[in-house]
Structure 1
Amino acid sequence: MSNETKAATFEVLPQQTYVPCKTDYLWGETRHKPFVVWSVHGDRIKVWDPSGGQRLGGFRWIARRNLHESGKTKTGKERKTGYRLHSGPPEEDQELCGSCFRWLDLDQFDATALVYGHSTCRTCKAEIEKMYGVAG
């Protein structure tokens, strides 16, 4: 398969979300740094990273070759590097959950901020309350 054919089957689009292909590291440590595609500039992709920069995240650049449609290679092995497509782009009237980094309908949220990465869906809120208890 030529590079042109391969590139045509998977398109990187603004507002897609990606997560690392490998999240387990030494000593059971996990790294889960999702990001949102902000804009596409040929082989360079500008992304918004909620954990980058100061306070509310920041922008950084990712090479197109590091973004994959799935976490598996064409032979079925788990990828050890790069980022896999997670969600998006959103449909009309969807919001981004800042915990699971998925685009969801507004009625699936317990709290919305209408800002990237700061709303929480009901499923994530229930998991957070189960782990840490209910604030009150």
Structure 2
Amino acid sequence: GDVGKCRDGLILGQQNGRGTLLESTAPQQPSARCVLCNKSLLHVFVDLKRTTMGELVQLALKDVLSMHEPNVSIGDSILHEEGEEALETERDGDLLCDVGAVDGSVLNVEDFSQGVKIDVVLRHRARE
């Protein structure tokens, strides 16, 4: 069909004036400021010599970006993997500098459970 005729369905917390719990609306355009809606790079400032892979995943990807099952790689190297078919990795306790990350490294981050794919540029900033 015609993509222009697509509609979003919303489940309401209470019945609307017509007595229904479902409402149909026109899809919204992606926000230019949303890192997940556009293809811009996300720059993360972190101390590469003191921050572990697990801390980056939890604090930046899960807590800030609300990812559920992030998979992280640099090039062909898988640094962190989650989900049903995830391989067991022991990299979460490793410092970012020990997994090959340097200032300007680009992490490829995907969350298959949410259909999200972003690139994260690591920028080194020493912690005081």
TM-score with structure 2 length normalisation? Answer: 0.23
**Bigger proportion of residues as helix:** 1
**Whose RCO is larger (CA < 8 A, sep 6+)?**
2
Structure of higher CA gyration radius: 2
TM-score with structure 1 length normalisation? Answer: 0.22
